[in-house]
Amino acid sequence: MSDVVGLPVRVKVVGRPGCGRRTVTRVLHGAGVAVVASTAVADLDVHVFAETLKPEDRRALTMSPRPVVAVLNKADLTGFGGRGPVAAAAERCRLLGDRVGVTVYPLAGLAAAAAVDDRILDDELLGALRTLTVDPADLGSTDRFAGGEHRLPNAVRQRLLADLDLFGIAHAVLALRSGAERAGVIAALRRASALDGLLAGLEAIAAPVRYRRLTEQFADSAADEVVAARMAAAVEVVEAAGMTVDADVSAHAHLRRAVVWQRYSHGPVSRLHSRCGADIARGSLRLWERAGGVPEPVELKP
């Protein structure tokens, strides 16, 4: 059973050419996501687009045979003002998601890649960024940064643009000015890129995939190991949906949890959540018995 429980959820990155599929693939792979090739079997899709959803994007999202999320890549180019371009992109994602019925996440792809790939922010790049903290360059546009007068060699400036773009350069310089070292710069790039929001979204959509895989494989087993694994997978599903499952390990808490989730399983919920509620209740009862709980006959009233 451990082979099934530990099997990663396979993610396929799709989308129109030129929107940054390779960058998003590199980011997800670097973050530990099991990304598979376009010809391989996948459990869910990550659809990458830029600027806005075109008709072909909408068709792909609505016709996907698997669970799917959308990623607005190059979110740092959304526009400035207010709380910044990524915040503006997040609001755009919310509006687009409401229209197509699919969750959409913003991502500043190059900043995210630098946050997960240790090879990018090397000594040369970090030294160049430190130079910019004391000798600022014109970050008004890529042409002005690359072509303006500055003591950094043009080749180094071109590499900064290729690996971080203006958005990443600005956030890295700000972090260094605040006293950050290399790890702090990487953390700042990760926060600025909105990567963690995307990863949390993928984890939420992957939870039902793991649950279904487990329940299909061990549909008829009542072994303790299987009951515990099904309960854990069910907890992941309901918590991914925003609910909280009591983690107290006392006998009383196990029994209370069983009652709560048994009632939930009979409520006006989806079939998936009904099954999850039943698995949480069954697992909790098994834990209650192990903790010393003694089943007693219950007189059913007519």
Give yes or no for a contact between 105 and 194, defined as CB atoms under 8 angstroms apart.
Answer: yes
Residue 156 burial (C-beta neighbours within 10 Å; 0-12, 13-18, 19+): middle
Q: What is the pTM of this model?
A: 0.88
SS3 110: helix
Q: Is residue 211 situated within a structural domain?
A: no
Secondary structure E strands in the chain? 10-15, 34-36, 44-50, 68-73, 104-107
Task: Note whether 36 and 175 are same-domain residues.
Answer: no
pLDDT in tens, the chain (302 residues): 555 566 899 999 999 999 999 999 999 999 999 999 989 999 999 999 999 999 999 999 999 999 999 999 999 997 655 678 999 999 999 999 999 999 999 999 999 999 999 999 999 999 999 999 999 999 999 999 999 999 999 999 999 999 999 999 999 999 999 999 999 999 999 999 999 999 999 999 999 999 999 999 998 888 999 999 999 999 999 999 999 999 999 999 999 999 999 999 999 999 999 999 999 999 999 999 999 877 655 454 54
Task: Note whether 83 and 198 are same-domain residues.
Answer: yes
Instruction: Compute the distance between CA of residue 130 and CA of residue 110 in angstroms, rounded to an integer.
Output: 19
Q: What is the residue range of 146's domain?
A: 117-192
Task: Note whether 18 and 85 are same-domain residues.
Answer: yes
Task: Note whether 273 and 232 are same-domain residues.
Answer: yes
Domain boundary residue, one of 143, 174, 192: 192
Task: Note whether 62 and 148 are same-domain residues.
Answer: no
Phi first, then psi: give them for residue 245, nearest 5 degrees.
Answer: -110, 125
Task: Note whether 100 and 166 are same-domain residues.
Answer: no
Give yes or no for a contact between 21 and 47, defined as CB atoms under 8 angstroms apart.
Answer: no
Task: Note whether 40 and 167 are same-domain residues.
Answer: no
Task: Note whether 268 and 250 are same-domain residues.
Answer: yes
The CATH number assigned to the domain holding 42 equals: 3.40.50.300
Instruction: Compute the distance between CA of residue 49 and CA of residue 30 in angstroms, rounded to an integer.
Output: 20
Tell me how many domains the chain contains.
3
Buried b (16+ CB within 10 A) or exposed e, 111-138: bbbbbbbeebbeeebeebbebbeeeebe
Q: Is residue 209 situated within a structural domain?
A: no
Task: Note whether 252 and 278 are same-domain residues.
Answer: yes
> What is the pairing mode between strands 10-15 and 44-50?
parallel
Q: Is residue 277 situated within a structural domain?
A: yes
Q: Is residue 208 situated within a structural domain?
A: no
Q: Is residue 297 situated within a structural domain?
A: no
Give yes or no for a contact between 68 and 15, defined as CB atoms under 8 angstroms apart.
Answer: no
Instruction: Compute the distance between CA of residue 71 and CA of residue 93 in angstroms, rounded to an integer.
Output: 8
How many residues are there in the chain?
Answer: 302
Domain boundary residue, one of 202, 226, 256: 202
Task: Note whether 126 and 268 are same-domain residues.
Answer: no
Instruction: Compute the distance between CA of residue 61 and CA of residue 103 in angstroms, rounded to an integer.
Output: 10
Q: Is residue 299 situated within a structural domain?
A: no
SS3 6: coil
Task: Note whether 69 and 198 are same-domain residues.
Answer: yes
Instruction: Compute the distance between CA of residue 152 and CA of residue 131 in angstroms, rounded to an integer.
Output: 8
Domain boundary residue, one of 174, 202, 230: 202
Supply the DSSP string of 123-186, one letter for each residue: HHHHHHHHHHHHS----S-HHHHHHS--SS-HHHHHHHHHHTHHHHHHHHHHHHHTT--HHHHH
Q: Is residue 298 situated within a structural domain?
A: no
Task: Note whether 127 and 26 are same-domain residues.
Answer: no
Q: Is residue 248 situated within a structural domain?
A: yes
